[in-house]
Amino acid sequence: MSQKNKIALIFIELGLISAIALSLVLPEEKLILALSLPSALVGAGLAQWSSSSKDNQ
């Protein structure tokens, strides 16, 4: 596994873990606003993964 893929997986895992933690702690009305950061982390990880797969082709 390349270094870029490892970094991408770290971003995706951190996004998922933080989203789960926030969903357990925050009430629904505050959760909608708080999920933007985990979504950004997952998006960054997926973008990194996509760029590394294009490099391999």
**CA separation (Å) from 15 to 4, 12, 21, 27, 52?**
17, 5, 10, 19, 19
CA distance 10 to 13: 5
pLDDT, residue 57, reads 60
pLDDT, residue 29, reads 85
CA distance 21 to 35: 10
Residues 13-53 have pLDDT tens digits of 999 999 999 999 999 888 888 888 889 889 988 898 888 66
* pTM attached to this predicted model: 0.75
pLDDT, residue 20, reads 92
Q: Which helix (H) or strand (E) holds 51?
A: helix 36-56
Q: Is the pLDDT of residue 54 over 70?
A: no
Q: In the chain, where are the structural domains located?
A: 3-56
